[in-house]
Structure 1
Amino acid sequence: MNSKIVLCFLALVAVCVAQRNEAILARAVGPCIADKCQSKHTCYFGQCVPEGIAPAMPALDKSAAIGPCINYLCPGNSFCHQGMCYNNI
């Protein structure tokens, strides 16, 4: 019984986090170039978002990278972070 409650709670947390990230990325003004953005913006999952609306970018596991960025670009729906491409959240 307790494990079902814990699993439901974790699923709810995951949905809330995904919705929050979606709301943050909806306010993006464009992609990060070389992990940098214009003033008063910060790079968050490959997009420049206004400072203060996004938490600090989490440390990404380099083993999860799908390959290197080429000219700061990545294929498809992935993003460039510190020279490596990662699948979008």
Structure 2
Amino acid sequence: MNSKTIIFVALIAVCFAQRREDIFARAVGPCIADKCQSRHTCYYGQCVPEGSAPPMPALDKSVAVGPCINYLCPGDAFCHQGHCYNNNV
């Protein structure tokens, strides 16, 4: 890879991280049973206004860290469809 390609890839990664941070800044609270109040959608365990986040990707259950207990997960993990996932998924 040449240096221009590396810089481009790094720039895309920084933009994506900033975008995700901006999305979470608009969150109104955690999802409960993968549900949110009206006009909000569940995105990585947080309720965000509809249209402010891309669709939630399908998560691979083989990378789940365990089941949700009362819709809760330990540490920085989030609950999605009954499974806990690390936030870096």
Q: If the length of structure 2 is used for normalisation, what is the TM-score? A: 0.91
Give the number of equivalent residue pairs.
Answer: 88
**SS class of match (2:2):** helix
Report % sequence identity. 74
Matches within 5 A, 1:1-89: 2-89=1-88
Deviations 1:55-77 (A, max 9, x none): 10111122221111111100011
In the TM superposition, residue 49 of structure 1 has moved relative to its aligned partner by: 0.4
The letter for the 2-side match of 1:4 is S
**SS class of match (2:78):** strand
**SS class of match (1:49):** strand
**SS class of match (1:52):** coil
The letter for the 2-side match of 1:40 is R
Q: If the length of structure 1 is used for normalisation, what is the TM-score? A: 0.91
- Structure 1 residue runs without a partner (length 5+): none
Deviations 1:33-72 (A, max 9, x none): 1100000000000000000111101111222211111111
CA RMSD of aligned residues (A): 1.1
